[in-house]
Amino acid sequence: MQQGGGSETEVTWEDQQNINKFGRLNNRFHELEDEIKVAKESNDNLEDAGNELILTDEEVVRFQIGEVFAHVPKEEVETRIEEMKEVTSKSLEKLHEEKESVLAQMSELKQILYGKFKDSINLEED
Amino acid sequence: MATSSSSSSSAEVVTERRGIPGAQFVEDVQTYLTQTGFDCNSALAFLQERLQQYKMVEMKLQAQQRELLAKIPDIEKCLDVVATLQAKKGTGEALITDFEISEGIYSRASIEDTDSVCLWLGANVMLEYSCEEATALLRKNLDNAKASLEVLLADLQFLRDQVTITQVTIARVYNWDVHQRRLRQASPSAKDS
């Protein structure tokens, strides 16, 4: 946080709580970005796996369960992959929603804090 | 002169949480300095030290968080395997799997119908459980891990709030000091004129 040039603006407990909330939201925002990246990768991998499956001739596919690769018939693997894709896309959607909400709350707080402190506070990414 | 009401500069905040001291919110810098008897430099030094302590605790908590975040998918994978074994139980066919015996080297295993699995409990101990017991144990471990993670995340949030409060207090004490210096510089010249 930037140090002001000896300004006299007092910081109330409410201001402090707003600043704390902004900090928490900012952290959550970064965590969400990472989580979204991971979920997207996982989704893409499942997509690729599904496509490979369609192309393959084999009847039995080695499907990873835990640390081992079990021999599973193709149809079952297809079903499993579909289910996993469902789960990841739902989770991805939820993450995006949360990200939007966090961003909205952050810009609201920015308005309030910049309104009171103007130049004495810096809420941008460094 | 320090004006207004405020009896003390104490905060309406939790004073500590699980061993982490809460940061005192300062209503008015002048009052805070008089109360604690600090001058600006010692106040800044004290606050900086507090900040360092917070950072240490944060690193420790983050390490614990990483541990838990690695443990949870592990437990979920185990649950998956046990569930698969149970599903295969009725069918009478063996489950054929390829597993890694060394880096890049895999071997094939045929797993017959089985009623029990062995679970690695850590500390070189492995116990045999029935499939249902294993599932129950794994689920319990998963729930515990998730609960611990939640508490940890709340601790981290609390800690970050205290860090923010301390940083803001440092900035305010510093600004107040700069302001005081300016006032002191202004008054000698006023006396001269």
B98-116 pLDDT tens trace: 999 999 899 999 988 888 8
Chain B residue closest to A60 (CA)?
B96
Whole-number pLDDT of residue B10: 41
Q: pLDDT of A20-50, one tens digit each? A: 999 999 999 999 999 999 999 999 999 999 9
Task: Check residue A105 and give its pLDDT.
Answer: 96
How many pairs of residues across A and B have Cβ atoms under 8 Å apart?
A: 76
Pairing of strands B116-122, B125-130: antiparallel
Cβ atoms of B119 and B137 closer than 8 Å: yes
With respect to residue B168, please indicate whether it lies within any of the assigned structural domains.
Answer: yes
**Residue B189's pLDDT is what?**
60
What value does the mean pLDDT of chain B take? 86
Of A105, A109, A124, A120, the C-alpha closest to A11 is A120
Does B175 sit within 8 Å of A5, measured CB to CB? Answer: yes
Specify if B47 maps to a domain. yes
Contact B134, B83 (CB under 8 A): no
The answer to whether residue B8 scores a pLDDT higher than 50 is: no
Residue with the larger pLDDT of the pair B192 and B53: B53
- Per-residue pLDDT band for B40 (boundaries 50, 70, 90) equals confident
Whether residue A67 and residue B11 make contact (CB cut-off 8 A), yes or no, is no
pLDDT given at position B11: 44
pLDDT tens by residue, B72-103:
999 999 999 898 888 888 787 888 899 999 99
User: Which chain B residues have a beta carbon less than 8 Å from that of A7?
Assistant: 175, 179
Which DSSP helix (H) or strand (E) runs through B20? strand B20-21
With an 8 Å Cβ cutoff, are A7 and B95 in contact? no
Residue B189 lies in a domain: no
Q: Is residue B163 part of a domain?
A: yes
Contact A61, A77 (CB under 8 A): yes
Q: Which residue of A has its CA nearest to B175?
A: A6
Q: Which amino acid is at A22?
A: F
A18: in domain? yes
The pLDDT value recorded for residue B39 is 86
Domain membership flag for residue B5: no
- Residue A109, domain CATH: 1.10.287.370
Q: Is B179's CB within 8 Å of A16's CB?
A: no
The partner residue sitting opposite A71, judged by closest CB among B12, B97, B100, is B97
Give residue-wise pLDDT tens across range B132-175.
999 999 999 999 999 999 999 999 999 999 999 999 999 999 98
Q: Is the pLDDT of residue B2 over 80?
A: no
Here the ipTM equals 0.80
When comparing pLDDT for B26 and B5, which is higher? B26
B76: domain CATH number is: 1.10.287
Residue B18, Ramachandran bin (φ over 0: left; ψ between -120 and 50: alpha; else beta): left
A84 lies in which domain range?
Answer: 14-116
* A121 located within any domain: no
Q: How many domains does chain B have?
A: 1
How many distinct helices (H) and strands (E) make up chain B? 3, 6
The mean pLDDT value of chain A amounts to 89
User: What domain count does chain A have?
Assistant: 1
Judge whether B142 lies within some domain.
Answer: yes
The alpha-carbon gap from B34 to the nearest alpha carbon of chain A, in Å, equals: 17
Question: What is each CA distance from B55 to A18, B19, B170, in whole angstroms?
Answer: 22, 14, 15
Q: What is the pLDDT of residue B55?
A: 94
Rounded to two decimals, the pTM is 0.80
Burial class of residue A17 (count of CB atoms within 10 Å of its CB; 0-12, 13-18, 19+): middle
The model's confidence at residue B119, banded by pLDDT at 50, 70 and 90, is very high
The answer to whether residue A64 neighbours chain B at the CB level (below 8 Å) is no
Average pLDDT over residues A59-87: 91
What is the reported pLDDT for A33? 96
DSSP B116-161: EEEEEEETTEEEEEEHHHHHHHHHHHHHHHHHHHHHHHHHHHHHHH
Q: Is residue B57, in this structure, part of any structural domain at all?
A: yes
* Domain boundaries, position B167: 28-86+131-181
Distance CA A117, CA A14 (A): 13
Contact B175 A71 (CB under 8 A): no
Q: Please, are residues A71 and A39 in contact by the beta-carbon 8 Å criterion?
A: no
Q: Is A66–B97 a contact, with Cβ atoms under 8 angstroms apart?
A: no
